[in-house]
Chains A and B, each alone.
Chain A
Amino acid sequence: MNEMKLPEQNSIANRLSIGLTALLAGTLFFTMVRDADLGERVVAMRYFLFGMAGLIAFILPYLSFPDRKTVWIQLLNLSPNSIWRHYLKGQRMVWGIGLVPVVVIALGGTEWPEGDLADRGLLLVYGVLFLTGLWLYASTRYLQVGASSQEWQEGEKGREARQSLSAIAKYPVDPGSIPSLLVSGKVSVLGMMGVVSGAFLNAFFGLAGEAGIALLMALAGLAAARLPARSADRFFYRTHAFFGEFFGSGSDAGSGREPVRPHQLWWIPVRWTAHSWAFTLQLDRKIPAGRWVALGHLFVWVVAYQRPGEEAMYILWLLFALLHHTLLLFTANASLAPVWWLRHLDRLSEWVWTRFWVQVRWLLPLLASMALMMGLFGLFSWSMIFQAGLFYLGTALLAAVLIHLRHERRWIS
């Protein structure tokens, strides 16, 4: 009974989305490193892992909680081990897609790496161990975050924090989100410091020193994962319950300012304004999307400050453009958009366009940021920026179609 499998949904649409994202990411990285020497590949790997540290730190809790399969998990009364595996399965998308660039950076190229095959292999081991360790560490920490989040949200500690934070912060922070923010901070600092330490050790011990850090990271991940594997049920139910209440009540992710009104979405044609408004409003309440995007811009600028070269920077922008579309995944969430409700309100095809127009809101900041970089660093041309805009719009439409398919497959009877 305990080893029964949970009902699978949307497997084809899911796999298609994940496969296409991995393919696109792999292609972009291949373009970046195809003729690169070992040193350039090592640097590219560091940047990639640096970025992944930020991504993993922020995205993981949103992938798993609240878990819509909890009803099944309880009915089947899955064992702690099964729950742990189920939980990791829900998060492995980030890890799996992340492995593709790792492999491409280490081994991808137009020629067979005869001369430095061993070093390339070591680079691959470094990337795989580092990414796996960090992902495992972050997943474990997020699984355990429910208890302290609840304490902050409902207890005296939270009340005091709410008062102090409202006095100093421009936008109020929900106390229940503080433990998650702390975990995000820990994970991103651990990841980023790991990359920096590895680079430091590389100066003394070569690539093996850097790989040593990755080994430590993997061990840290495995060590962290030992406890929840035994008590995953306790952590899982508690964290699920907390996020169910937290997101269900509408977190304060977008609070501190007036909710967006339909007329503010000026770039959206009237046909889709109402739907896009309702989606945007809900997305802003569910996740601090604006802060994520701002953080992404900051990361790209930090990388740009290292002056890695125009082609590499351009590819980084394209990857960042692609990353924006992960936000759309939330619109496939039944709690945000029950399928019967969408069906009742409008034609199925209109929801593709709704998702597309919602996503267009990040285009202007993207292009503006690129244009600013062009002015300050002399990178890119207007034509390249224009093409990046087209890339963004094209992939937004593709993402909207895939997410629409994923959403609808749940419904058809």
Chain B
Amino acid sequence: MQNRMDKEPSIVVESVTKQYTAGKPIFTEISEEFRPGEAVGLTGPNGSGKTTFLRLLSVNTFPTSGQVLYGGQNIHEKPWNYLQHVGLVHDEESLPTYLTAVELLEWVLRARNAWDENSEGRISELFDRLELDESRTDPVGTYSTGMKKKAQIAAALIARPRVLVLDEPLRGLDVTARKRAIELFSEEVNRGAIFLMASHAGEELERLAGRIMKFPLEQEPVPG
């Protein structure tokens, strides 16, 4: 496993600054590296920049300066190449409402050319583990917040992506579902995925994550 992880690309954040308004940076000159099999937790108060950071890593926002590389490629220059490897729980809970959760996962697998004779079984198993019961065959539009979150988590995991970018994936889940989700996340980390998760669930995050990034991020001291 360690050998395989060594061959997988890392995410390298190089001197990234992001500001929505000139002169008011959310973070400045951030440099980080996220390696395969590494679980990173993002914590901090509301508005401290966690979601912005994850939106950068999911190509939903673009850096003001600096770049983010995956396998040496700038993810904002070649989003499609990168996003093929990404499983995403977005900060929005919106999903296509007229599909069932099962169809949603089928779409993900087919879109990633990963649909095969075992896929239906894997979808069932994943929903069983997340305890999304018979409602998995109802349209997503009928779901509660927690059920939507389960569908989002399942959609992020089903294609076994190399990178997981999860923004508050536990929000709205009941205690059992949170436990199940954490188990699934641990398995993904052990499988070698780069795992980034923002959450206010402090204890759970600390148990899962090997490294915690505290927001707002400290600016690197300028030498001299």
Q: Which residues of A contact B (CB under 8 A)?
A: 247-250, 259, 262, 273-275, 277-278, 281-283, 285-286, 334-338, 340-341, 343-347, 413
How many pairs of residues, A versus B, come closer than 8 Å at their CB atoms? 87
- Return the contact of B86 from the options A334, A344, A413 (Cβ within 8 A): A344
- Return the contact of A345 from the options B61, B90, B111, B115 (Cβ within 8 A): B111
B60 at the interface (CB under 8 A from A): yes
Task: Please give, as numbers and ranges, the residues of chain A lying within 8 Å of B115 by CB-CB distance.
Answer: 274
Contact B110 A336 (CB under 8 A): no
Q: With A249-B139, A343-B60 in contact, is A281–B99 under 8 Å at CB? A: yes
Q: With A273-B110, A274-B107 in contact, is A335–B92 under 8 Å at CB? A: no
**A170-B97 Cα distance, complex, nearest whole Å:** 26
Chain B, Cβ-Cβ closest to A272: B111
Task: Please give, as numbers and ranges, the residues of chain A lying within 8 Å of B55 by CB-CB distance.
Answer: 413
Task: Please give, as numbers and ranges, the residues of chain B lying within 8 Å of A338 by CB-CB distance.
Answer: 92, 94-96
Interface of chain A, main secondary structure: helix
Contact A250 B108 (CB under 8 A): no
Chain B, Cβ-Cβ closest to A344: B88
Contact A281 B103 (CB under 8 A): yes
Contact A340 B92 (CB under 8 A): yes
Q: With A278-B107, A413-B60 in contact, is A250–B94 under 8 Å at CB? A: no
Task: Please give, as numbers and ranges, the residues of chain B lying within 8 Å of A247 by CB-CB distance.
Answer: 97-98, 141
Contact B58 A281 (CB under 8 A): no
Q: Which residues of B contact A (CB under 8 A)?
A: 55, 58-62, 79-80, 83, 86, 88, 90, 92, 94-99, 103, 107-108, 110-111, 115, 138-139, 141-142
Task: Please give, as numbers and ranges, the residues of chain A lying within 8 Å of B59 by CB-CB distance.
Answer: 343
Task: Please give, as numbers and ranges, the residues of chain B lying within 8 Å of A273 by CB-CB distance.
Answer: 110
Contact A281 B111 (CB under 8 A): no
Closest 5 CB pairs of A and B: A274-B110, A248-B141, A250-B139, A282-B98, A338-B94
Contact A336 B97 (CB under 8 A): yes
- Return the contact of B96 from the options A278, A343, A346, A347 (Cβ within 8 A): A278
Chain B, Cβ-Cβ closest to A247: B141
**A334-B97 Cα distance, complex, nearest whole Å:** 9
**A286-B107 Cα distance, complex, nearest whole Å:** 18
**A336-B99 Cα distance, complex, nearest whole Å:** 8
Q: With A247-B141, A250-B142 in contact, is A341–B61 under 8 Å at CB? A: no
Contact A282 B99 (CB under 8 A): yes
Task: Please give, as numbers and ranges, the residues of chain B lying within 8 Å of A345 by CB-CB distance.
Answer: 83, 107-108, 111
Known contacts A250-B98, A345-B111, A347-B79, then 7 further A-B pairs from the complex at CB < 8 Å, ordered by chain A residue: A248-B139, A250-B97, A340-B90, A341-B90, A345-B107, A346-B111, A347-B80
**A253-B12 Cα distance, complex, nearest whole Å:** 48
Report 25 cross-chain contacts, Cβ distance below 8 Å, ordered by A residue.
Answer: A247-B98, A247-B141, A248-B97, A249-B138, A250-B97, A277-B107, A278-B103, A281-B103, A282-B96, A286-B98, A334-B94, A335-B97, A340-B88, A340-B90, A340-B94, A341-B94, A343-B59, A344-B58, A344-B86, A344-B88, A346-B111, A347-B79, A347-B80, A413-B61, A413-B62
Q: Nearest-CB distance from B118 to chain A (Å)?
A: 17
**A144-B104 Cα distance, complex, nearest whole Å:** 34
Task: Please give, as numbers and ranges, the residues of chain B lying within 8 Å of A282 by CB-CB distance.
Answer: 96-99
**A262-B103 Cα distance, complex, nearest whole Å:** 11
Chain B, Cβ-Cβ closest to A278: B107
**A341-B60 Cα distance, complex, nearest whole Å:** 10
Of B58, B107, B108, most A-chain CB atoms within 10 Å: B107
**A217-B79 Cα distance, complex, nearest whole Å:** 55
Contact B94 A285 (CB under 8 A): no
Task: Please give, as numbers and ranges, the residues of chain A lying within 8 Å of B142 by CB-CB distance.
Answer: 248-250
**A338-B91 Cα distance, complex, nearest whole Å:** 12
